[in-house]
């Protein structure tokens, strides 16, 4: 499309009435890969194409990881008319050519911008250029936009995110809108009609249970972010998800911690956005990321976020209602040492107001399937004695067998 025509459309779009986000997107939590956790600003088109190849060759695409998302630092400068361009050294073929390659692999391409004057990495933000950028992304064939919150002094988050939502809608291409405002304005209370997902916390980093204090901001470990999801589950559902940030699986934590991290994100019905170098991941990492039965807990069509039913002495019990009357039942050991734990099913008779479902262990017997061993383990007719390794999990799928 010629630039003068784009400018004419831009003028028309600036008078458009407020729009709604695109529906029928993110009906289950989005799955994909993002460049930031592993590569930060060190990205180029060769890397992204190589990651796309590996998503296909490893089977990750077929497991559901379909978005490949450029994070910060892909940007070049704006041209004389204000349209954003790609960094000519990092992306000499341009984003449209990259998009065509990604789509040829059966994948979708995501891109990054910021509601402020610059991105967190100092590249041009979208402030004042929202409709231009939305038109550009649509012309490039973009499928997903992560929209950050740096350099936003004196900008209202609700208005800023609604403005970009309207711009995306007016541009006409269905683009999943991922809001990255870090939870400061409690977007879960207002953003259901604005974005398809919203960050609930600050940034994650590659640590299971710790905080990395940078002075004016803090990066959070897996357990710190998990704790900050308390009280948010009623706001999540098909097309609108709480986002506790990307996965650090495969970035250096031991397998037990990676397994616990991945499992809890699945119990949270969180977007599963990989952040590791999948070109060199171990078989152990791959087996975690590609466990179809655990992924199915995350991708369950009910779209109900898990509930923490018990927390005592570093051991937590979580339940998540699933389709067909099933439940996911997860025991998380936050302690560094292994623990013995007895599951007394009758203690977990509960009514879940979010899903309007009841466990009804008092009248329903469930078959038990261990999702990490992929083996049946009897029924809920009797208690189960567990030994859970340090900073690890046991997750069961419970399927109704008998109702009294």
Residue 243 is encoded by which pair of tokens? 């986002």
203 is catalytic: yes
Return the number of other C-beta atoms located less than 10 Å from residue 169's C-beta.
20
Beta carbons within 8 Å of 290's beta carbon, 6+ residues apart: 58, 59, 60, 63
C-alpha–C-alpha distance, residues 111 and 298, integer Å:
24
C-alpha–C-alpha distance, residues 171 and 133, integer Å:
9
Beta-sheet pairing, 327-333 with 315-321: antiparallel
At residue 350's C-alpha, the angle toward residues 349 and 355, to 5°, is: 140
Residue 397 is encoded by which pair of tokens? 């799928």
268 close to 242: Cβ distance less than 8 angstroms: yes
Q: Which of 148, 166, 258, 277 is catalytic?
A: 148
Q: List strand residue ranges (DSSP E) for 42-158, in order.
A: 67-69, 75-78, 84-86, 108-114, 144-148
352 is catalytic: no
C-alpha–C-alpha distance, residues 166 and 143, integer Å:
16
The alpha helices in 45-154, defined as continuous H runs, are 45-57, 95-104, 130-140
C-alpha–C-alpha distance, residues 4 and 307, integer Å:
53
- Please choose, from the candidates 323, 344, 341, the residue with its C-alpha nearest in 3D space to the C-alpha of residue 397: 323
Beta-sheet pairing, 307-312 with 315-321: antiparallel
Q: Which of 203, 243, 277, 326 is catalytic?
A: 203
DSSP 365: E
Active site residues: 148, 203
């Amino acid at each position: 499309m010629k630039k003068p025509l784009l400018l004419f459309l831009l003028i028309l779009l600036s008078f458009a009435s407020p729009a709604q986000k695109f529906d029928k997107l993110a009906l289950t939590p989005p799955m994909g890969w993002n460049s930031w956790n592993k590569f930060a600003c060190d990205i180029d088109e060769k890397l992204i194409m190589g990651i796309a190849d590996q998503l296909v060759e490893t089977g990750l695409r077929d497991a559901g990881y379909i978005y490949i998302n450029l994070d910060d630092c892909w940007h070049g400068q704006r041209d004389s008319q204000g349209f954003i361009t790609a960094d000519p050294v990092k992306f000499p073929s341009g984003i449209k050519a990259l998009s065509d390659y990604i789509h040829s692999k059966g994948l979708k391409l995501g891109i990054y911008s910021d509601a402020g004057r610059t991105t967190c990495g100092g590249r041009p933000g979208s402030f004042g250029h929202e409709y231009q950028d939305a038109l550009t992304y649509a012309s490039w064939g973009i499928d997903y936009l992560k929209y950050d919150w740096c350099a936003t002094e004196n900008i209202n988050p609700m208005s800023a995110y609604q403005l970009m939502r309207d711009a995306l809608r007016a541009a006409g291409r269905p683009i999943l809108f991922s809001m990255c405002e870090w939870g400061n304005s409690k977007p879960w209370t207002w953003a259901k009609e604005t974005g398809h997902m919203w960050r609930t916390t600050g940034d994650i980093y590659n640590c299971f249970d710790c905080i990395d204090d940078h002075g004016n901001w803090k990066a959070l470990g897996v357990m710190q972010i998990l704790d900050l999801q308390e009280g948010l589950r009623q706001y999540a559902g098909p097309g609108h998800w709480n986002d506790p940030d990307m996965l650090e699986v495969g970035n250096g934590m031991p397998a037990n911690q990676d397994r616990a991290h991945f499992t809890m994100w699945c119990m949270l019905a969180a977007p599963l956005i990989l952040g590791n170098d999948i070109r060199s991941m171990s078989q152990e990492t791959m087996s975690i990321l590609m466990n179809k039965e655990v992924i199915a807990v995350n991708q369950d069509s009910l779209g109900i976020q898990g509930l923490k039913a018990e927390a005592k002495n570093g051991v937590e019990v979580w339940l998540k209602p699933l389709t067909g009357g099933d439940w996911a039942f997860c025991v998380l050991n936050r302690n560094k040492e292994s623990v013995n734990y007895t599951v007394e099913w009758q203690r977990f008779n509960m009514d879940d107001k979010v899903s309007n479902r009841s466990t009804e262990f008092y009248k329903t017997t469930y078959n038990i399937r261990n999702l990490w061993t992929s083996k049946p383990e009897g029924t809920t007719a009797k208690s189960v004695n567990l030994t859970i390794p340090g900073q690890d999990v046991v997750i069961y799928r419970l399927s109704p067998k008998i109702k009294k």
